[in-house]
Chains A and B, each alone.
Chain A
Amino acid sequence: MTRNSRVFLSIVFWAFVVYLFVPLALMILMGFKDSKFIGFPIQSWTLDWYLGVFEDTDVIGTFFYSLAIAVASTAISVVMGTWLAVLLTGRRFLGRGAVYALMILPALVPGIISAIAFRIYARQLGIEPGMGAIIWAHAVHNVPFVTLVVMARLSTQPKSYAEAARDLGADPLVTFVRVTLPYLKPAIIGASVFCLLLSFDDFVRSFFLGSYQPTLPVLIFSKLRSGMSPEINAISTIALVLTAVLGIWAERSSRRMNKEN
């Protein structure tokens, strides 16, 4: 590689990093501005917006509402996603390609279509908009991500592990719980965190399936529609920090576990 192209590539790379981080950095900065008006320059600083958020029971309630939805939908996605991964990685069967296509479908349907399809389906089944409907939509939407991650891990497991367990007297159920599941642990932890983030961050499905109680992204959206305010910056920053910490933790721990095996 010539020196020129190398320099060019590194400039593009770091410019891209700047493009990714600068908007978020500006948004974080603006949350400390001592004025209701969003924009530069920032003349004086304050923590009032953050203090305000912590006193706002609506925001706190919304936060825990979103969290509860994320946890519940993740539990469903992980169980179903892992189950599908085991089915699809196991012995071949007629129609496996079709099952694979159906499995991946929710991940490929564009967001708005997915949201209104869930909205219609919920109504046809008589499910009222609200927490249950959002949990269900998030759970279905996130299953393919779990399945893909778990399948990738499962395909690296030597066939002999399960055979050895059977050989030593374990029935298929004990084999799964004591040998296969521990082997999948890093993938399942990684997929769980990914699902938590997807659900916590989701806007379009939560927007169309929600009732009067918004999730956090829906709350930020509606506040934005009535005007920008540093209060929104404070809420967004808290959400950003939480998701980043969770994401980094998951990434590091799953990498460590992968190394151990």
Chain B
Amino acid sequence: MADPRDPIVRLDGISKRFGKTTALHELHLSIAPGEFVTFLGPSGCGKSTTLRLLGGFEKTDSGRILLEGKDVTALPPNKRNVNMVFQDYAIFPHMTVAQNMAFGLELKGLDRAAIDRRLNEIMSFLELEPFAGRYASQLSGGQRQRVALARALAPDPALLLLDEPLGALDAKLRGQVQIELKAIQRQTHKTFFFVTHDQDEALTMSDRIVVMNAGRVEQDGTPEELYFRPATRFVAEFIGETNLIDGTVRGIDRDRSEVVMDWRGIELRGQAPAGVPAAGQDVTASLRLERLSFHEGRPDTPNAVRGRIVNRTFLGSRMAVDLQVEDVSGARLRAFTDHDTTSRVGDAPVWIGWDSASLAVLTS
């Protein structure tokens, strides 16, 4: 048995090309046991390729894949201690739910009694007992998803791969299944490798998110890090809605570890979690919409500007407003606020403030 602190998966500079396009460029990554890791990105970013390489469905062009410390790079899928929940679930149509779940256990060489024990355990855990004798065609989308999960969990893999398994579900069910899936992961202490293009899904469930773009890792961190301290413009734009502020670095305030930047003549103070820029450099900073606060007098936050609301969008639980900064043409900000604040402010000028931690200076 390996040291529990050793990574369960290590990707050692794996690359993959399909014809002329590079699907994956020298990916290095370690996954700790029990982690819920999500690969997030637009289609064609390399997230699915990584998943298929881990499952053994594609061969790497270069690099190594280590699973529980063993090199599995050249092993076919049936010799890897990894199981997958497929996007379309791939529940064998000619087998019942129970037969589907027993498939992997039979091939492991378990005897009938052990298989039945394991099936009962998994079925009661996932509340699938009433469906044991049914076929995939007799199940709802949510039930199929659960059967696919149960089938993949049954052989007790070291790593569970999930290929956009919620994509086929309707929006309402998806939210519920997200919570359920996270709970299942916690209770089984399994390592989950989840692939999605849906940022909400990634933020809700993951311990760690790897944002991919064009075959490379853009950022690797917790959901909070990615959301509030994005490293790149791509991450800032891909996850949630944000203000992108283009400016020039005036200097670095070493005492408070802040970047002082110039935005159309306004001095702003931000933080650079991913790398400190040099003075005079052109930079972009990200400012989340909900980090802006509204004040009647000038607030004592490091950043404060005066502006007017020029456009309002009603979003139900909140309002999105567009603000024009006073006396600086073209300087616009977008913010979330509540309904009362918007109607109280009206068309009158208002102070807007935010702290330096909310303004993340991006590396690219």
Give yes or no for direct A-B contact (beta carbon below 8 Å). Answer: yes
Point out residues on A near B: beta carbons under 8 Å: 158, 160-161, 163-171, 174, 178-179, 182-183, 185, 260-261
6 A-B pairs within 8 Å (CB atoms) are namely A160-B89, A164-B92, A167-B56, A167-B78, A171-B78, A182-B94
Pair B107/A163 contact, Cβ less than 8 Å:
no
Residues of A within 8 A of B275 (CB): none
- List the count of A-B residue pairs having beta carbons below 8 Å apart: 67
| Smallest CB separation, A171 vs chain B (Å) | 6
Would you call B16 an interface residue if the criterion is a C-beta within 8 Å of the partner chain's C-beta atoms?
no
Pair A261/B94 contact, Cβ less than 8 Å:
yes
| Smallest CB separation, B135 vs chain A (Å) | 8
How many residues on the B side are at the interface (Cβ–Cβ under 8 A)? 26
Contact A169-B90, Cβ < 8 Å, known A163-B57, A260-B137, A261-B137: no
Pair A163/B77 contact, Cβ less than 8 Å:
yes
Give A147 to B171 CA distance when docked, in angstroms. 42
Residues of B within 8 A of A166 (CB): 56-57, 76-78
Pair A160/B137 contact, Cβ less than 8 Å:
no
**Which 10 A/B pairs are nearest by Cβ-Cβ distance?**
A168-B104, A160-B90, A169-B107, A164-B90, A166-B77, A182-B94, A160-B86, A261-B93, A169-B78, A167-B84
Pair A183/B93 contact, Cβ less than 8 Å:
yes
Residues of B within 8 A of A165 (CB): 92, 103
| Smallest CB separation, B100 vs chain A (Å) | 9
Give A167 to B80 CA distance when docked, in angstroms. 8
Name the CB-closest residue of B to A171.
Answer: B78
Give A164 to B104 CA distance when docked, in angstroms. 10
Pair B86/A170 contact, Cβ less than 8 Å:
no
| Smallest CB separation, B85 vs chain A (Å) | 9
Pair B155/A169 contact, Cβ less than 8 Å:
yes
- Bitwise interface map of B from 80 to 121 toward A, beta carbon under 8 Å scored 1, else 0: 001110111110111000000001100110000000000000
Would you call B55 an interface residue if the criterion is a C-beta within 8 Å of the partner chain's C-beta atoms?
yes
Residues of B within 8 A of A170 (CB): 78, 103, 107
Residues of A within 8 A of B151 (CB): 164, 168
Residues of B within 8 A of A261 (CB): 93-94, 137
| Smallest CB separation, A27 vs chain B (Å) | 42
Contact A169-B104, Cβ < 8 Å, known A160-B86, A163-B86, A260-B137: yes
| Smallest CB separation, A193 vs chain B (Å) | 20
Pair B87/A160 contact, Cβ less than 8 Å:
yes
Pair B90/A158 contact, Cβ less than 8 Å:
yes
Residues 52 to 73 of chain B near chain A (Cβ within 8 Å): 55-57
Give A161 to B151 CA distance when docked, in angstroms. 13
Give A207 to B241 CA distance when docked, in angstroms. 79
- Bitwise interface map of B from 147 to 161 toward A, beta carbon under 8 Å scored 1, else 0: 000011001000000
Residues of A within 8 A of B77 (CB): 163, 166-167
Give A171 to B78 CA distance when docked, in angstroms. 6
Residues of B within 8 A of A182 (CB): 92, 94
Residues of A within 8 A of B57 (CB): 163, 166
Pair A168/B86 contact, Cβ less than 8 Å:
no
Pair B137/A168 contact, Cβ less than 8 Å:
no
Residues of A within 8 A of B93 (CB): 183, 260-261
Residues of B within 8 A of A260 (CB): 93, 135, 137
Give A170 to B90 CA distance when docked, in angstroms. 15
Name the CB-closest residue of A to B80.
Answer: A167
Pair A174/B92 contact, Cβ less than 8 Å:
no
Residues 176 to 235 of chain B near chain A (Cβ within 8 Å): none
Give A163 to B85 CA distance when docked, in angstroms. 11
Give A179 to B95 CA distance when docked, in angstroms. 9
Pair B94/A164 contact, Cβ less than 8 Å:
no
Give A168 to B90 CA distance when docked, in angstroms. 12
| Smallest CB separation, A200 vs chain B (Å) | 30
Give A260 to B93 CA distance when docked, in angstroms. 9
Residues 121 to 171 of chain B near chain A (Cβ within 8 Å): 135, 137, 151-152, 155
Give A160 to B148 CA distance when docked, in angstroms. 12
| Smallest CB separation, B170 vs chain A (Å) | 21
Give A260 to B155 CA distance when docked, in angstroms. 28
